[in-house]
Chains A and B, each alone.
Chain A
Amino acid sequence: MHGRTWMQSLTLAAVLAAGLAGCAKSEPPKAAAPAPAPAAAAKPEPLKIGFIYVGPVADAGWTFAHDLGRKAVEARFGDKVKTTFIESVKEGPDAERVIRDLVAQGNKLIFATSFGFGDSMEKVAKDHPEVLFEHATGYKTAPNLRNYEGRFYENAYLAGVLAGMVTKSNVIGFVGSFPIPEVLRNINAFTLGARSTNPKVKTKVVWISTWVDPPKEAEAAQSLINQGADVLLQNTDSTAVLQTAEKNGKFAFGWDSDMSAFAPKAHLGSCAIIWAPYYLKAVNDVLEKTWKVENTKWGTKEGLTEVVKIPDSVPAAARAKVEEARAFLVANPGAVFRGPIQDNTGKEVLAAGVVGDDKFKGEMGFYVQGVDGKLPAGK
């Protein structure tokens, strides 16, 4: 009996499918069809730019900051560009299809804003030499694929400088997502910054194995506060850590974007990432035909990272220290990691006078002295 009904269903579905296919065929070719041949156009075609986001644009964190950059591009270049974005793209095989589709729609410059898009980018870039690809926080390059990243750890360092001055318990806390080099750089920079103004500081770290889960972030923050931490920083995407600090009368920082509104008393500043300067440059490179393969890592000096909205309640001495450190970083980009640096087992990882190079920073897999505990899932 089931067999018969299924035969009927199949027939019906086949008819339906044929009908749909018929529709598809009778459809006149649309402008969006994969036929990128703008050369014949009379007036200059706008440069079509695609953005692939890992989260929803309204996440108030990572993706939101990138989208501000996209909007800046639209504002600056007007009708010379046309931007499209696709949000909440899963890292993995789906990304390749999304990227190919953006190419098929005639996008000539494509930004992908998460590490997990790298392989897909590489594959599509190989097949489409006529399109330029930019991958945030990645490391792979090709003749038409380059990377861009921020020296986010400079923000973490400046936050640390302030934290060292503000903490009363000499315990500061960090809510981590996953122990990847990027996050470890931030933990270590936060600690180094804090110990530069207050050598007695210890950092406690709690990992939550996710980028966004506000209730869990709040729990992690609460746990750190319960163990005596009174200044918190996080490398997760929501405002929950900051809000938990506010609830407990402690201090914390915003991350990714200006989060001052979420915690008027607890907020010591927001480690903002301002992507606009880079996106403007990248688009300009394409328009001016000066695009070349690079690994761009911008930070405080270039205005890509900045600790914004440090409140007036912060004592002048502390502000001065932050300003001093900031000036140092502007003069010596990336010099947060300068020897001597020891890991938290006492082993020297960077000799005196040496500044950590890209490899040192890129592969970071240890806690610096002052961080409590052992790095999870290490060797």
Chain B
Amino acid sequence: MIRLEARPAPSRTWSVLSPVVAIAITVVVAATLFALLGKDPVRGLEVFLVKPWSGTRALTELGLKATPLILCAVGLGLAFRANVWNIGAEGQFLVGGILGGGLALVVTANQIPVNRWAFFPLLVLAGALGGMIWAGIAAFLRDRFNANEILVSLMLVYVADLFLSWLVFGPWKDPRGFNFPQTMNFAAETAVPRLVPGMRLHWGFLLALLAAAGMWIFVHRTYRGMQLLVGGPAPAAARYAGFSSRQALWTTFLLSGALAGVAGALEVAGPMGQLTPHVSQGYGFAAIIVAFVGRLDPLGAVLAALVLATFSIGGELAQSRLGLPSAITGVFQGVLLLSLLACDTLIQYRPRWGRR
């Protein structure tokens, strides 16, 4: 009989080992699953985990895929640490994309001459604003009416998606687009500047890394950041420290919303180049996994985003090379998160043998 005993202090060893063990468990599950499906496990793992990292194009694609995940997860990590449950990053991503895309559309439709380096910060601001508006609704309803933020932020995802659909089917439809639901292609100057010539990776990736670094400093090196973390789980203690849980709610919602919104704007003006009904790609939801796999830490989010991006690109590669079904990626993501949660227990607790 095993029972868990609280450790006097969190185990540092396990806080490092836990994600490693969780990834190891996922790899073992994956290998077993490959074998069960009659595929060579070694080859399967190679395609899944190594191929997405081989070559310049692969690496840039990985970065491109990781960019929105990092941005969303950095903000969500902060919110979750403060015990604020913003589950609707996908909606904030969408509204950021709508505002960013709208800005690009205005520039394109009116043939306003812009410099791409001047437009880039404007785009980021528009995205941030969009995300903040959408997150602000959830924060306001929580603050003013005590409405559960998990459910409100989630319902707002559906609303945002339908609103985008209305825009591209209606007022923002490209007049020369044969009535297809899409805006016109944005002018080239509005595109997010590329990082590597010929590749899709754009400056948004660096921005995401910067955001992660900035958030790390905010959380670990500023008084306000630390207050925020206290402010969530223990409101009384936080009030004592002069920081109310209301402030925690607003700060984390607006920050995480802004970051998700930026991610949306970058996606729309980056690889998409127009608004279509397909802006929602699930990044806001996947970022929840990323945030947890990254231990709710900004730098952890970067690593976790790369892991998740590897999984999803690896899943695509495994389909065409090994004939594996697309759903397998989702299984691995779920296994990873569940085993991570289980392993994290060992940070705070020590298993003991025998009965009490």
Does B278 contact A50, Cβ atoms closer than 8 Å? no
Q: Residues of A contacting B325 with CB < 8 Å?
A: 56, 87
Does A180 contact B313, Cβ atoms closer than 8 Å? no
Q: Shortest beta-carbon distance, B141 to chain A, in Å?
A: 24
A139 proximal to B (CB < 8 A):
yes
Q: Shortest beta-carbon distance, B247 to chain A, in Å?
A: 22
Q: Residues of B contacting A92 with CB < 8 Å?
A: 271-272, 276, 278-279, 281
B144 proximal to A (CB < 8 A):
no
Does A87 contact B319, Cβ atoms closer than 8 Å? yes
Closest to B319 in A: A86
Contact code string A173-206 (vs B, CB < 8 Å = 1, else 0): 0000011110000000000000000000000000
Q: Residues of A contacting B276 with CB < 8 Å?
A: 91-92, 116
Q: Which of B86-94, B108-116, B121-129, B297-305 contacts A (4 or more CB under 8 A)?
A: B297-305
Q: Shortest beta-carbon distance, B49 to chain A, in Å?
A: 7
Q: Residues of B contacting A8 with CB < 8 Å?
A: 12, 16
Which one of B166, B300, B326 contacts A56 once the chains associate, using CB atoms below 8 Å? Answer: B326
A297 proximal to B (CB < 8 A):
no
Q: Residues of B contacting A46 with CB < 8 Å?
A: none
Q: Residues of A contacting B282 with CB < 8 Å?
A: 90
Contact code string A84-117 (vs B, CB < 8 Å = 1, else 0): 1111111111101110111001000000000110
Which one of A4, A13, A27, A377 contacts B169 once the chains associate, using CB atoms below 8 Å? Answer: A377
A40 proximal to B (CB < 8 A):
no
Which one of A1, A94, A100, A209 contacts B165 once the chains associate, using CB atoms below 8 Å? Answer: A209
Closest to B162 in A: A209
Does A101 contact B316, Cβ atoms closer than 8 Å? yes
Does B326 contact A24, Cβ atoms closer than 8 Å? no
> How far is it, in angstroms, between the C-alpha of A377 and the C-alpha of B181 when the chains are bound?
11
Contact code string B270-296 (vs A, CB < 8 Å = 1, else 0): 111110111101100000000000000
Q: Residues of A contacting B7 with CB < 8 Å?
A: none
Which of B177-226 touch A at CB < 8 Å? 178-181, 185, 200, 219-220
A365 proximal to B (CB < 8 A):
yes
Closest to B270 in A: A93
Does B50 contact A20, Cβ atoms closer than 8 Å? yes
Q: Residues of B contacting A17 with CB < 8 Å?
A: 53
B155 proximal to A (CB < 8 A):
no
Q: Residues of B contacting A23 with CB < 8 Å?
A: 46, 50
Q: Residues of B contacting A91 with CB < 8 Å?
A: 276, 278
A378 proximal to B (CB < 8 A):
yes
Does A105 contact B170, Cβ atoms closer than 8 Å? no
> How far is it, in angstroms, between the C-alpha of A2 and the C-alpha of B169 when the chains are bound?
48
Q: Residues of A contacting B181 with CB < 8 Å?
A: 178, 180
Does B272 contact A93, Cβ atoms closer than 8 Å? yes
Q: Shortest beta-carbon distance, A309 to chain B, in Å?
A: 30
A314 proximal to B (CB < 8 A):
no
Which one of B54, B57, B200, B300 contacts A24 once the chains associate, using CB atoms below 8 Å? Answer: B54
Does B320 contact A2, Cβ atoms closer than 8 Å? no
Which one of B55, B267, B316 contacts A93 once the chains associate, using CB atoms below 8 Å? Answer: B267
Contact code string A1-37 (vs B, CB < 8 Å = 1, else 0): 1111110111011001100110110010000101000
Counting contact residues on chain B (CB < 8 A from A), the size range is 35 or more
Q: Residues of B contacting A1 with CB < 8 Å?
A: 12
Q: Shortest beta-carbon distance, A92 to chain B, in Å?
A: 4
Q: Residues of A contacting B319 with CB < 8 Å?
A: 85-87
With A86-B319, A105-B321, A377-B166 known as contacts, the answer to whether A181 contacts B179 (CB < 8 A) is: yes
With A9-B303, A24-B54, A91-B276 known as contacts, the answer to whether A86 contacts B316 (CB < 8 A) is: yes
> How far is it, in angstroms, between the C-alpha of A139 and the C-alpha of B317 when the chains are bound?
28
B15 proximal to A (CB < 8 A):
yes
Closest to B18 in A: A9
With A2-B297, A21-B53 known as contacts, the answer to whether A93 contacts B166 (CB < 8 A) is: no
> How far is it, in angstroms, between the C-alpha of A156 and the C-alpha of B248 when the chains are bound?
56
Does A12 contact B49, Cβ atoms closer than 8 Å? no
Q: Residues of A contacting B162 with CB < 8 Å?
A: 209
Which one of B55, B200, B320 contacts A105 once the chains associate, using CB atoms below 8 Å? Answer: B320
Contact code string B5-38 (vs A, CB < 8 Å = 1, else 0): 0000000100110011000000000000000000
Does B277 contact A90, Cβ atoms closer than 8 Å? no
Q: Residues of A contacting B320 with CB < 8 Å?
A: 50, 84-86, 98, 101-102, 105
Does A6 contact B297, Cβ atoms closer than 8 Å? yes
Which one of B277, B281, B326 contacts A178 once the chains associate, using CB atoms below 8 Å? Answer: B277
> How far is it, in angstroms, between the C-alpha of A87 and the C-alpha of B323 when the chains are bound?
10
Does B281 contact A3, Cβ atoms closer than 8 Å? no
Does A2 contact B165, Cβ atoms closer than 8 Å? no
Chain B positions near chain A (C-beta within 8 angstroms)? 12, 15-16, 19-20, 46, 49-50, 53-55, 57, 61, 64, 162, 165-166, 169-170, 178-181, 185, 200, 219-220, 267, 270-274, 276-279, 281-282, 297, 299-300, 303, 313, 316-317, 319-321, 325-327
List 5 additional A-B contacts (Cβ < 8 Å) besides A4-B12, A116-B278, A363-B178: A92-B271, A92-B278, A101-B317, A119-B274, A179-B169
- A sample of 20 inter-chain contacts (CB < 8 A) reads A5-B15, A8-B12, A9-B16, A12-B16, A13-B303, A17-B53, A32-B321, A84-B320, A85-B320, A88-B327, A90-B282, A178-B181, A178-B277, A180-B179, A180-B181, A362-B178, A364-B179, A376-B169, A377-B166, A377-B170
- Shortest beta-carbon contacts, A-B, top 3: A93-B271, A377-B170, A88-B326
